[in-house]
Amino acid sequence: MSKRVFFVTCPKGVEYLLADELATLGLAQVRNAPAGVWVEGDLEAGYRACLWSRLANRVILHVAEVPADSAEQLYDGVVGLDWQPHIPAAGSFRVTFLGHNNAIRNTQFGAQKVKDGIVDSIRGTGGARPNVAPKGADVTVSARLNRGRLSLGIDLSGHSLHMRGYRTDKGIAPLKENLAAALLMRCGWPEIAGNGGDFVDPMCGSGTLLIEAAMMALDLAPGRKQEHFGFEKWPGHQPELWLSLRQEAERRAHDGKQGRVPVFAGFDQDSRVIATAWRNIQRAGLEGVVHVEARPVQDFAKAESWGEQGLVLTNPPYGERLSERKELSGLYQSLGEAVLRELPGWRMGVFTGAPEFGKSIGLRSFKQYKLFNGKLPAQLLLFEVKPENAMVARDPEGTGEIQPRIVNAERADMLRNRLKKNLKIVGQWARKQGIGCYRL
């Protein structure tokens, strides 16, 4: 197969992870771009990206790049291209347009100029006039304007690949599926799962992290349940090749459940959100694999079935009002205490838009990643859950108030009782001797 160039889009901050993932699918990196990666490979690799990429938003087959300093220059560039290999005869297409400059100040105008150029190009070579369909088009043409250059391509994905098909209900501020997958990769979940580790989310919301973790561990293709892709009516589509890749994905899904299946356990204090998570789990076909129940983080406790190693990954709430933030400081502290008490030896990741609450967790973070949750800046904080990594938690509001940090309550009680006993014995002797400073 001949080499082709693709532009694969992703959430901002995930570009390097995406480049590594695409390399495993047969697409070699050409260069990074904001919220995307330019890669090259054959059509099979492009299909694999649509089916297997856990991080991508869209996979765009590059057609050409034309100058676009003016509307006329843009039109001339588009009309000069051969579009018949990409637009089905008597078929339909639509254009998505991103970007602007001094001459093209809104996306509607830019999209219209691209449409006009495509239609006139096809008619000028004797082809039947294609229909322009805003919805339900056979093919989607992607147009991206940047610094006076217009990049044109065919959207092979047809929809944002973060939509796996299992999440139709939504919890409060749900994570997008590909962002959840990026968090799992940054935490090292594939390696932890490969070494026999389990997965827990103490504040699971609608269950996205749980489902994505299970799909990774069981080798389930994220696009496996999608019925339609943007290339199916594209003239260059190779149905037999695509069918073979779908069949391979089904074989891998079967094989992925034959070995040890990790524990996947999620909890949330809101029973209504848990009901939403359960519906998502069922749509993903993971009932019997992922367990969720209503339980506040303060009551978090390790089950007997959980192993000695694993990953805790969660996306706690973070408030805007001062009253909310003070309450949430206690929630983050409860999270840290519960995980340190119940799961020593595990790794923990906390994804938050308020990283200052990391101080309340009471563990030293060994790594921090800057990401975005939509347009909101956020951080992923990583912790090795070990007693020696415990520290005094401070008030994140900056008051300097020291919060007591008890790593082992049983031993703390033993120490307190020993000190009281010593004080009673040594104190009597010290008073008789007139000594006011002594060692217990």
The answer as to CATH 3.30.2130.30 being correct for domain 4-155 is yes
Query: End-to-end distance of the chain based on CA atoms, in angstroms?
Result: 80
Span 323-342, pLDDT tens digits: 566 778 889 999 999 999 99
Pick the closest to residue 60 from 20, 5, 1 (CA basis). 5
Q: Are 176 and 54 spatial neighbours (Cβ–Cβ below 8 Å)?
A: no
**Does the pLDDT value for residue 435 go beyond 80?**
no
Angle CA 240–181–300, to nearest 5 = 135
**What per-residue confidence (pLDDT) applies to 285?**
95
Q: What is the percent of the chain where pLDDT is above 90?
A: 77
What's the rounded Cα separation, in Å, for the pair 115 and 122? 11
Alpha-carbon torsion, ordered 9, 13, 15, 21, to 10 deg: -100
Pick the closest to residue 351 from 8, 6, 14 (CA basis). 14
376-384 β-sheet, strand order: 290-294, 264-268, 198-201, 310-314, 347-352, 376-384, 365-373
**What per-residue confidence (pLDDT) applies to 318?**
78
What's the rounded Cα separation, in Å, for the pair 258 and 271? 32
pLDDT band of residue 269 (cuts 50, 70, 90) is very high
What's the rounded Cα separation, in Å, for the pair 403 and 50? 49
What's the rounded Cα separation, in Å, for the pair 32 and 319? 34
Buried b (16+ CB within 10 A) or exposed e, 196-222: ebbbbbbbbbbbbbbbbbbbbbbbbbb
Distances 344 to 9, 296, 311, 331, 388 between C-alpha atoms, Å:
38, 20, 11, 19, 10
**Does the pLDDT value for residue 190 go beyond 80?**
yes
Span 299-325, pLDDT tens digits: 999 999 999 999 999 999 876 555 566
Lowest mean pLDDT among 163-167, 255-259, 344-348, 430-434: 430-434
Pick the closest to residue 277 from 200, 400, 362, 167 (CA basis). 167
**Does the pLDDT value for residue 294 go beyond 90?**
yes
Residue at token pair 């561990």: 217
Beta pairing, strands 36-41 & 4-9: antiparallel
Q: Which residues contact 38 (CB under 8 A, 6 or more apart)?
A: 5, 6, 7, 29, 30, 31, 32, 62
**What per-residue confidence (pLDDT) applies to 402?**
42
**What per-residue confidence (pLDDT) applies to 217?**
98
**Does the pLDDT value for residue 345 go beyond 80?**
yes
**Does the pLDDT value for residue 187 go beyond 50?**
yes
**Does the pLDDT value for residue 376 go beyond 80?**
yes
Query: Could you give the 3-state DSSP secondary structure of residue 209?
Result: helix
More confident residue, 224 or 412: 224
For the chain, give the mean pLDDT.
91
| 4-155 and 177-218+261-403: identical CATH topology | no
Span 112-158, pLDDT tens digits: 999 999 999 999 988 889 999 988 899 999 999 999 999 999 999 99
**Does the pLDDT value for residue 183 go beyond 70?**
yes
Angle of helix 271-283 versus helix 208-217 axis, rounded to 10: 30
Architecture of domain 177-218+261-403: 3-Layer(aba) Sandwich (3.40)
**What per-residue confidence (pLDDT) applies to 424?**
75
**What per-residue confidence (pLDDT) applies to 408?**
55
**What per-residue confidence (pLDDT) applies to 394?**
46
**What per-residue confidence (pLDDT) applies to 432?**
75
**What per-residue confidence (pLDDT) applies to 299?**
94
Residue spans of the domains in the chain: they are 4-155, 177-218+261-403, 412-440
Lowest mean pLDDT among 26-40, 162-176, 225-239, 303-317: 162-176
Q: Are 245 and 47 spatial neighbours (Cβ–Cβ below 8 Å)?
A: yes
Q: What is the rounded average pLDDT of the residues 52-56?
A: 98
pLDDT band of residue 401 (cuts 50, 70, 90) is very low
Beta bridge partners of 37: 8, 32
DSSP 363: B
What's the rounded Cα separation, in Å, for the pair 229 and 159? 7
What's the rounded Cα separation, in Å, for the pair 50 and 155? 10
Q: Where are the alpha helices (DSSP H) in 25-168?
A: 43-52, 71-79, 107-124
Q: Are 155 and 96 spatial neighbours (Cβ–Cβ below 8 Å)?
A: yes
Q: Are 365 and 383 spatial neighbours (Cβ–Cβ below 8 Å)?
A: yes
What's the rounded Cα separation, in Å, for the pair 143 and 65? 9
pLDDT band of residue 202 (cuts 50, 70, 90) is very high
**What per-residue confidence (pLDDT) applies to 84?**
95
**Does the pLDDT value for residue 430 go beyond 90?**
no
